[in-house]
């Protein structure tokens, strides 16, 4: 069974933060960025609607001469500290308190300014190339209905169809549609319930990692904030891995996959990424 040890994770984070203060290589950089190995270098130019590049971090170590990278690293470490501190009060949280906590964490990870707090729902085609070249083969590997055109995105238990995200494919372009924020309480309630389960239930390693994957998939599909959703939720997912003694991982294209695979298949994919 997994043993939760927040204190040990806090000590480990302090050690990595101290190395960052001394401008030394820190393993925490790998948990902040999408790509420390160059695996996704073909997609470095991809940007969101706001012109912000998805693939932040393109080398194995932080460049301490780059102020933006230093800011990104420091804000990520600060967010993790706040995340660990907040975990101690999860048992008493309701959805309103959970939402407020997420907003605090989102402010902490803001390594650059954004013009909007909560944004309008929109379709984005920026995912098209990554989905066609990378996500579809992953969907095929896990025998997911997305690969066969039988599903346009994940289906979460007890969520109405109108609350679900979906892709529309036309002329080779993939338009992704996030759920409207009218359904945010559905996602936040399910995420909070999953988080409480993670911290209060005896789970074996596989079941624990599966639950972390589900927690992450719920939040990334809600896409609650105007920007930095992937940075925030992957930071939280890695924090949950670390408190269980499991090494955190780089972002890679995990969010692209989470927006499309069914939860049971995404859990298997996430587990394989963690155990690789």
Q: When comparing pLDDT for 155 and 119, which is higher? A: 155
CATH number at residue 242: 1.10.3290.20
Residue 253: inside a domain, yes or no? yes
- Give me the helices (H) in the chain, please: 6-21, 28-32, 67-87, 95-108, 128-130, 136-141, 184-200, 205-222, 229-243, 254-258, 263-275
64 token code pair: 């301490």
Q: Do 168 and 152 touch, CB atoms closer than 8 A?
A: yes
Q: Do 220 and 259 touch, CB atoms closer than 8 A?
A: yes
Residue 101: inside a domain, yes or no? yes
Residue 265 burial by Cβ neighbours in a 10 Å radius (0-12, 13-18, 19+): buried
Domain, as residue range, for 95: 6-121+179-275
Domains identified in the chain, total number = 1
Q: What is the pLDDT of residue 118?
A: 44
Mean residue pLDDT across the chain: 91
CA distance 177 to 153: 10
Q: Do 111 and 57 touch, CB atoms closer than 8 A?
A: no
Q: What is the pLDDT of residue 252?
A: 93
Residue among 94, 136, 45, 103 at smallest CA distance from 228: 103
pLDDT at 116 over 70: no
46 token code pair: 């991809």
Q: What is the mean pLDDT of residues 4-9?
A: 97
Residue 23: inside a domain, yes or no? yes
pLDDT at 9 over 80: yes
Residue 160: inside a domain, yes or no? no
pLDDT at 170 over 90: no
Residue 89: inside a domain, yes or no? yes
Q: What is the pLDDT of residue 121?
A: 47
pLDDT tens digit sequence for 129-151: 899 999 999 999 999 999 999 99
Q: What is the pLDDT of residue 228?
A: 83
pLDDT at 13 over 80: yes
Q: What is the mean pLDDT of residues 33-49?
A: 84
Q: When comparing pLDDT for 180 and 272, which is higher? A: 272
CA distance 64 to 41: 21
């Amino acid at each position: 069974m997994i043993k939760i040890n927040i204190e040990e994770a806090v000590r480990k984070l302090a050690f990595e933060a101290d190395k960052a203060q001394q401008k030394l290589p820190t393993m925490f950089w790998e948990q902040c960025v999408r790509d420390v190995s160059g695996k996704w270098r073909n997609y470095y130019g991809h940007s969101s609607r706001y012109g912000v590049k998805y693939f932040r971090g393109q080398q194995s170590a932080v460049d301490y001469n780059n102020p933006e990278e230093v800011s990104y690293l420091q804000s990520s470490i600060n967010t993790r500290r706040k995340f660990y501190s907040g975990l101690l009060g999860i048992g008493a949280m309701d959805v309103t308190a959970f939402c407020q906590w997420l907003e605090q964490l989102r402010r902490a990870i803001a390594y650059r300014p954004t013009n909007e707090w909560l944004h309008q729902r929109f379709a984005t085609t920026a995912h098209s190339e990554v989905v066609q070249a990378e996500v579809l083969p992953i969907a095929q590997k896990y025998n997911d209905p997305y690969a066969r055109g039988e599903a346009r995105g994940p289906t979460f238990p007890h969520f109405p169809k109108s609350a679900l995200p979906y892709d529309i494919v036309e002329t080779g372009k993939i338009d992704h549609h996030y759920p409207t924020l009218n359904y945010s309480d559905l996602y936040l309630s399910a995420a909070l319930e999953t988080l409480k389960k993670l911290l209060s239930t005896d789970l074996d390693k596989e079941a624990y990692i599966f639950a972390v994957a589900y927690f992450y998939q719920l939040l990334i599909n809600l896409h609650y904030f105007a920007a930095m959703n992937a940075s925030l939720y992957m930071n939280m997912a890695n924090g949950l891995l670390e408190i269980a003694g499991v090494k955190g991982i780089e972002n890679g294209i995990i969010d692209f996959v989470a927006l499309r695979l069914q939860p049971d298949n995404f859990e298997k994919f996430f587990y394989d990424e963690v155990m690789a």
